[in-house]
Amino acid sequence: MILSAKNLTKSFSSSEGKFYVFKNLSIKIDKSDLITIMGPSGSGKSTLLNILGTLDTFDDGSIVFDQKNISDLNKDQISKIRNKNIGFVFQYHHLIPEFNAIENVLIPQQIFGKKINEPYAKELLDYLGLSHRIKHYPAQLSGGEKSRVAIARSLINKPALIFADEPTGNLDLENAKKLVDLLKKINKDFEQSFVIATHDPQIASIGKIKYFLNKGTLSTVDHV
């Protein structure tokens, strides 16, 4: 078991009162899981990923990551767990324009003081079909290529778990399909655990475990 979340509750307060994103939500993630979470815009998919990835807080419940209860840890301890064990892929890639592809891939190691492993970064980019683009800057890359750089960056620290939030959101149909196939291949070749939030039935369909989040309830589904 990589992560276990039990009875999570998350709410926001406004002038109109308290709004609950979800109540008593539970989910478990094991090694090599490929989990997809589908739901309409505003259903709380991104909020859930941010909470599970320790980027956001929750009101009630528990998250156990690597046999450690997150609620028992301080911010520095949580940050160390996140940096060591979790990778992220975002819809808008968040590549630094002034850095070329390989420099962007190495950012997590530079930020968190890890030994720079440039050979492994090159290996990842080669695996992702970008060996000829390692010195190119984001402005010189296509949308699909930027997505693959972002995936390489998420893999550089060999995380136990990767969270991907709408990874095909900015791609055309052809590149979206290529990315879907690539995520399936990485899951198989690296035994890499993924949790993918999406509103796209095409990418939701690849999940070995599929969930639907709506009106605060997370339900397993057989088909999307």
| Strand 60-65 relative to strand 34-38, pairing | unpaired
Domain segments of the chain: what residues?
31-61+73-221
What homologous superfamily does CATH list for 31-61+73-221? P-loop containing nucleotide triphosphate hydrolases (3.40.50.300)
Give the C-alpha separation, 187 to 198, whole Å. 17
Averaged pLDDT in 10-residue chunks for the chain of 224 residues:
96 90 96 96 94 96 94 93 92 91 94 86 97 97 94 95 92 89 95 95 92 95 80
What's the Cα-to-Cα distance from 102 to each of 49, 67, 190, rounded to whole Å? 26, 33, 20
